Structure 1
């Protein structure tokens, strides 16, 4: 996942619950690593 896609997802996810966003981001980064 490139950083621009991640930024777009961040904007979308910020409209939802912060906990949901951080869980999603954490899972996504862990998979990339």
Structure 2
């Protein structure tokens, strides 16, 4: 059971990192314009 929670936690952390990375990329693009 804890294994499933660990996978869900890692998956959510990965999604958070990806969304924050995309957000930073968009901010940098906007600042460049």
Normalising by structure 2, we get a TM-score of: 0.51
> How well do the aligned residues superpose, as a CA RMSD in angstroms?
1.5
Q: Which runs of 5+ in 1 are unaligned?
A: 1-15
Q: Which runs of 5+ in 2 are unaligned?
A: 1-6, 25-33
Report runs of 4+ in structure 1 exceeding 4 Å deviation.
none
Q: What count of residue pairs does the alignment treat as equivalent?
A: 18
Normalising by structure 1, we get a TM-score of: 0.51
Q: Which has the higher contact order (CA 8 A, sep 6+)?
A: 1
Structure 1 or 2, whichever has the larger Rg, is 2
